[in-house]
Structure 1
Amino acid sequence: MESYVVQMSQARIMGVSEEWIEKVTQANPSRHQLFMVRKVGCPPPGFNSAADTFEEGDIILALDGQLITRVSELDIMYEKDTLAALIVRNGQEMRIRVLTVPTEDLETDHVVVFCGAVLQKPHHAVRQQISKLHSEVYVSARSRGSPSYQYGLAPTNFITAVNGIPPPNLDRFSEEVRKIPDNTYFRLRAVTFDNVPWVVTMKKNDYYFPMSKYIKDRSQPSGWRTVCHDKDKYKDGIAPDAANLNPDAIDEGFDGVSDIDPDLE
């Protein structure tokens, strides 16, 4: 959730009562303000979407009975699994119960590399930018020269089906693509970051771009454990496609864009 400050003049127009405006004035004499929800990010995979949630435009009056007029007072969200929120929505006061997002879901701990595409569960920064989670299989990068690069599977795409079968997570995706023989064409359904569905047909290449997994493991020197899928056998160690994951070979979707001032190039 992103929020921004609302002054009392605007809050009054949006339906905040004089009683609450007086409470804000007394609670924070130096800054008479409340917070309005600017944007609600997409919840993490498996999150209970049936629960009450904030909506864009909500004015937050109180969380668990505590009046919220300072940013520091929002820290209460880090201490509890659910919050009783008192808000003003469409000019009406209402009470909702809001679930908080566990912090362990903020980092990536599982990556699959398939046909040169780097796949992972949509991380927190991705979910902050979208309102609907199309799939748990998200393309974060791809290797130049790989089948993914050649056939146009791009970073920020969500994969929604493999040969017509929806993969609910990375493990199921791995199971489905392992059924595809080498040097065989297959079809992926995908959705772009701006919600445009499309279909890509590509040819599997296990020789140069075998599938591998990278699993976060603090017992490993690098912090990650590598599992290579090669002819239905698991091999721990360095994946054959590791050379394709160096920075010079990876495309993250920024081709043609320079962060250098043109006058300095």
Structure 2
Amino acid sequence: MLFLILEMICFWLIVTKNSYQSIAFFHSSNRAIGALYQNKTKVNNYFELSRINEELVKENAALRAALKVSEASDYYWTHEFSADEARLKQFSFTPVRVVNNSISEYHNYITIDKGSLDGIKPNEGVIGPYGVIGKVKSVSPHYATVISLLNNKFLVSAKAYPSNVLCSVNWSGEDFQFADLNYVPRHVEMHVGDTVRTSGFDGIFPAGTMIGTVEEFELTDQDIFYNIKVRLSTDFSSLSYLYVVENNLEEEQLEVERLTEEKK
């Protein structure tokens, strides 16, 4: 013990009484401390990734809502309609995380980590960073299931651009990367690479939400409609964070449609 104490005193005297040794020691210690802090920062950043991802998803949801407001504003100004506040804020977005997902069945479903306590309701649309995902089916207090676009019982009202023709998208049950574009009449001019987006007619998805692009099509002399294959814009095998879409004007739309039906 006495030897170690004397060694430490001698080391301290050498460092403090000699300029070269003092500079060398402090440079070395600064490098060691810098490396220690750098590693500490990396560890902290790793454990903070989950929180950062949650914040980024919430920010993306807010940006998507702002983008839809901007798009609606541009649309109504272009078409000389009254851009009322309710119309501009028609859709709101809730970020959710995927906890279960299937792509190999005919009727595929997705489970998300939010439910009725977070305001999630059945029949609300679900979108991802690259386009349409599906529609909420069942809801519990903390979870909800989503009918995936990869479900051959699920139809999405769509439009093909630039032709602007109204059609629908349905999954055939084969490849999870492709779906069928239905009811495009033969007089419409189609091209490989045409974009397919939601029409907005069903009130579930905002109009213009991406679905995919035309991969190939076929039209025989006997066909009334094209046979069209669409490459989906979303990779359903790697879903992580999604957005549940709430249509704030849905009840008003359903009510006016109900009144119309009663007057027939």
TM-score higher than 0.5: no
Q: Which structure has the highest helix share of the two?
A: 2
Larger RCO (alpha carbons 8 Å, 6+ apart): 2
**TM-score band, normalised by the shorter chain?**
under 0.3
